Each structure stands twice: as structure tokens, then as C-alpha cells.
């Protein structure tokens, strides 16, 4: 079982296939972990492994990964995990593909180390809308209630502050619109369309980023094969 340990963090990951590397960030909100891919409209592990070296991972305190909950935790600690895993695997440059919360994870990694990301696929990225603030708070609180017993190091104030740092912002929560406007990394956005994954967020990312493409239909059985083929073509075109 592949495990990477750094300081107080233990990250579980899997590697499938060979070729140019693609790092996956699973859907599932704060529970983002490999099994969620099997519930997605299509599984990128299965679809991409014949063409690429696919690295799938469980985020900290999700699935089989563990970490302490510390004062100041937020999006940046996840980005640090991603960079550390790439270093551990000896990967200098890769693609990233993220579903749901994985969309902002992709953008956070690009912001931190743009030279290490060749291209990114954002599958229905989460984002702020006028009516979903409480939904994200409840999503976080449900995960936190499962974690509290294992984390006596964090008190109520720290959990609330952690929630605010994750989901208290606007747009996609962890990067600004100005960053996306200046982002030189090619992006392929698979459009969302529900409370957690607003259509407007996907459209705004695609309109702001100078090298972005948008796929509007990709979930239903009639459109999935063409969407998967386009994702593979997009990643092959930008590999290197």
C-alpha cells in the first residue's frame, strides 16, 4: 500500500499506467478520496491510465490519509501536500485533473508552482453562489463531526476558523479572479450545474482564463464518450 509520510502527515496514493504524469484530486468535498471517482460520471483512473501515468490520492483526513489539525489550516496545507507528493515521486511537471473540490485544488497548485503544471482539467469545480454559503458550512461541519474524536488537538474555535478559511471566500474560494485572468496554464473546464458546482463558476473560469476551453455536456451517457476523448486529446496536446 503506497504511503507517503511527511512530518505529521500520512498520504495514501496509487499509481496507474505509464507516460506523462496526471495527478488527480477526487471529488467528495472535505472527504476527497479515491473511491469517489467510482461514483463520478466517468472514472479518470480507468479512462486515463492507458495513456498516462495516473496518480490518485486521498486528501489529508480523508480516505486512508491522516494529518493533525493545526491552527491556520486551510487551502495552503493541501497545496503543500500536493507539492510534497510530486517531489516524493520525482515528478517535476505534470497535468492535474480535479473534480468538485479538486477544481480549486488544481488552481491552488498552479498558483503556487505554475511551472510544474502543464495543463489542468477542472471537472465541475465548486464555487460561491448567492445561495450556497450554508450548504458549504454544513458540508464542512458534517466532515468535522466525524473527525473531532481523532483530533483532540483542535478546539471549537480552531474548527470554525478552519471552515472559514476553506469556504468563507468567494469565487472558487482559494484563488482570485485576477489570478485566473493571468493564468497561462491551459485549462479544460467541464461545466457544473448544481448547488455546489454552479454553472456560473465554470463559465466564469472559462471566460476569464486566457487559455481555457469549456465542455458544457459531459455527464449523460450520450455525451460522456466524446467528452472523455476530448479530455485525453487535450492532455496529450499539452504534455511536455
Structure confidence at residue 191 as a pLDDT band (50, 70, 90): very high
pLDDT per residue as tens digits for the range 74-128: 999 999 999 999 999 999 999 999 999 999 999 999 999 999 999 999 999 999 9
Name the fold adopted by 3-235. Answer: Rossmann fold (3.40.50)
Residue 5 CA to residue 124 CA, distance in Å, equals 30
pLDDT of residue 70: 87
- In this prediction, residue 152 carries a pLDDT of 93
Average pLDDT for 128-133: 97
Quote the CA–CA distance of 42 and 219 in Å, as a whole number: 8
What lies within 8 Å, CB to CB, of 240 at 6+ separation is 20, 93, 118
The mean pLDDT of 5-19, rounded to a whole number, is 95
Distance between CA atoms of residues 126 and 128, nearest Å: 7
Q: Which of the four pLDDT bands, split at 50, 70 and 90, describes residue 240?
A: confident
pTM: 0.97
Residue 58 is predicted with a pLDDT of 98
Q: Determine the distance from the C-alpha atom of residue 212 to the mean position of all C-alpha atoms in its chain, rounded to a whole number.
A: 17
Cβ neighbourhood burial of 235 (10 Å; 0-12, 13-18, 19+)? buried
Inter-residue contact 133 to 113 (CB < 8 Å): no
Q: Where are the domains of the chain?
A: 3-235
Query: Is the alpha carbon torsion for 39, 42, 44, 45 positive or negative?
Result: positive
Amino acid at each position: 500500500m503506497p504511503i507517503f509520510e511527511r512530518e505529521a502527515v500520512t498520504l495514501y496514493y496509487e499509481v496507474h499506467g505509464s507516460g506523462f504524469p496526471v495527478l488527480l484530486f477526487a471529488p467528495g468535498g472535505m472527504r476527497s478520496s479515491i473511491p469517489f471517482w467510482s461514483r463520478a460520471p466517468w472514472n479518470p483512473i480507468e479512462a486515463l491510465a492507458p495513456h498516462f501515468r495516473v496518480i490518485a490520492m486521498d486528501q489529508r483526513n480523508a480516505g486512508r490519509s491522516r494529518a493533525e489539525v493545526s491552527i491556520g489550516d486551510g487551502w495552503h496545507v493541501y497545496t503543500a501536500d500536493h507539492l510534497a507528493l510530486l517531489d516524493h515521486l520525482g515528478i517535476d511537471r505534470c497535468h492535474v485533473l480535479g473534480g468538485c473540490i479538486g477544481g480549486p485544488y488544481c488552481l491552488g497548485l498552479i498558483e503556487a508552482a505554475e511551472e510544474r503544471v502543464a495543463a489542468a482539467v477542472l471537472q465541475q469545480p465548486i464555487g460561491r453562489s448567492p445561495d450556497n454559503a450554508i450548504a458549504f458550512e454544513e458540508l464542512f461541519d458534517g466532515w468535522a463531526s466525524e473527525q473531532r474524536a481523532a483530533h483532540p488537538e483542535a478546539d471549537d474555535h480552531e474548527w470554525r476558523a478552519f471552515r472559514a478559511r476553506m469556504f468563507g471566500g468567494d469565487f472558487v474560494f482559494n484563488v482570485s479572479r485576477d489570478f485566473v485572468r493571468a493564468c497561462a496554464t491551459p485549462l479544460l473546464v467541464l461545466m457544473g450545474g448544481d448547488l455546489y458546482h454552479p454553472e456560473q463558476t465554470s463559465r466564469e473560469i472559462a471566460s476569464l482564463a486566457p487559455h481555457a476551453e469549456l465542455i458544457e455536456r459531459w455527464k449523460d451517457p450520450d455525451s460522456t464518450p466524446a467528452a472523455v476523448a476530448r479530455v485525453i486529446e487535450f492532455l496529450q496536446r499539452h504534455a511536455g
